[in-house]
């Protein structure tokens, strides 16, 4: 289905609430947003959220504002200044482009918005081209960059990968760029699956090494044979991760590894406990801002 128009929601927050808003939007499955520094008030930022109009009837928009207000209230910030505009696809693309430039991740990766030429100074980087569309995964969120940095550390040559919650496809594309031979990408949002496929094509010109599945991971594992993966990449919220750890183990081959992201610092210990209980050995824990990424290995 093609998205024609977008709702644009804007409001102000104190700058220190940015991470909390990102966390809430992530939880609500909202991926297109930006923060703008206000020149007249350096302590505040403008939040701009774009929502595909077909998926956001009035009732859901009212609920969204209520959700955001609740989060802000809890953090002692009161506002009623929420402004809605309806904008056309072309205007959304130009708004979005204004906020997005090339981004270096880890030692060697460069995330490049598809409408930009590769800047000369980044010619030696491994480039991942992304058209952000309506799916999560531009590389700028700590949960994504933590996964990308983990991927840089491991040898993926000829490996079989499962990407659970592929969003824009950014991790699948990185895995292929690092030499993985077969990538299976799962997402329960059709916009994300479209985005994974079109971004994969944008980078490699074809979908030869990619297989996509639309649906929830727990439903798909019982329907298809998803087994013997060398690596599983899973950047989903901790609440979802908790319920799928045993299935993740079943999908890994012995010695295979899972990279889990989307976990808040406060949720780390509980996830580590669940991983150990499923016979998954913790190999690495890295963190950025409030977020943690855990790498665990299937032991016999």
- Which of 32, 194, 235, 295: binder of ligand SAM (CB under 6 A)? 235
Q: What are 81's two structure tokens?
A: 């200044």
Distance CA 173, CA 202 (A): 10
- b or e along 131-154 (b: 16 or more beta carbons within 10 Å of the residue's beta carbon)? bbbbbbbbbbbbbbbbbbbbbbeb
- Which of 8, 189, 230, 257: binder of ligand SAM (CB under 6 A)? 189
Tokens 């949720």, residue located: 267
Q: Is 167 in the site for ligand SAM (CB under 6 A)?
A: yes
Q: Is 8 in the site for ligand SAM (CB under 6 A)?
A: no
Q: Which segment (62-70, 164-172, 202-210, 223-231) binds ligand SAM by CB under 6 A?
A: 164-172
Which residues partner with 113 through β-bridges? 130
CA nearest neighbour of 238 among 187, 292, 193, 277: 292
- Which of 7, 96, 217, 291: binder of ligand SAM (CB under 6 A)? 217
Distance CA 34, CA 95 (A): 9
Q: What are 159's two structure tokens?
A: 């490996």
- Which of 166, 199, 203, 295: binder of ligand SAM (CB under 6 A)? 166
| The length of the chain, given as a count of residues | 300
Q: Which segment (46-54, 77-85, 89-97, 162-170) binds ligand SAM by CB under 6 A?
A: 162-170
- Which of 187, 232, 241, 259: binder of ligand SAM (CB under 6 A)? 187
Q: Is 19 helix (H, G, I), strand (E, B) or coil?
A: helix
Q: Which segment (12-20, 47-55, 101-109, 235-243) binds ligand SAM by CB under 6 A?
A: 235-243
In the annotated binding site for S-adenosyl-L-methionine, the residues are 144, 165, 187, 235
Helix (H) or strand (E) holding 286: strand 280-288
- Which of 9, 147, 183, 252: binder of ligand SAM (CB under 6 A)? 147
Q: Is 21 in the site for ligand SAM (CB under 6 A)?
A: no
Question: What residues line the site for ligand SAM (CB under 6 A)?
Answer: 26, 29, 135-137, 143-144, 147, 164-167, 170-171, 186-189, 192, 216-217, 235-236, 240, 262
């Amino acid at each position: 289905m093609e998205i024609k128009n977008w709702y644009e929601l804007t409001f102000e927050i104190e700058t220190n609430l940015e991470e909390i808003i990102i966390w809430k939007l992530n939880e609500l499955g909202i991926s297109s947003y930006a923060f703008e520094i206000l020149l007249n008030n350096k302590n505040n930022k403008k939040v701009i959220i774009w929502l595909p109009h077909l998926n956001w009837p009035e009732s859901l928009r009212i609920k969204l504002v209520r959700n955001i207000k609740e989060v802000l209230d809890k953090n002692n910030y009161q506002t009623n200044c929420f402004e809605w505009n309806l904008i056309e696809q072309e205007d959304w693309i130009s708004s979005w482009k204004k906020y997005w430039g090339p981004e270096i991740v880890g030692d060697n990766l460069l995330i490049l918005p598809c409408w930009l030429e590769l800047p000369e100074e980044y010619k030696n980087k491994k480039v991942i081209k992304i058209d952000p569309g309506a799916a999560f995964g531009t590389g700028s969120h700590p949960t994504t960059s933590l996964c990308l940095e983990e991927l840089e550390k491991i040898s993926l040559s000829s490996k079989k990968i499962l990407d659970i919650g592929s969003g824009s496809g950014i991790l699948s594309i990185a895995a292929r760029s690092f030499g993985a031979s077969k990538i299976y990408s799962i997402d329960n949002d059709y916009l994300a699956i479209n985005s994974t496929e079109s971004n994969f094509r944008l980078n490699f010109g074809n979908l030869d090494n990619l297989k996509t599945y639309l649906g929830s991971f727990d439903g798909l594992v019982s329907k298809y044979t998803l087994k013997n993966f060398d690596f599983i990449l899973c950047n989903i919220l901790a609440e979802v991760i908790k319920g799928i750890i045993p299935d993740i183990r079943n999908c890994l081959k012995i010695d295979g590894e899972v990279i889990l992201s989307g976990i808040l610092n406060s949720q780390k210990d509980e996830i580590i406990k669940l991983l150990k209980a499923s016979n998954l050995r913790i190999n690495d824990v890295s963190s950025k801002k409030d977020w943690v990424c855990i790498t665990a290995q299937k032991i016999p």
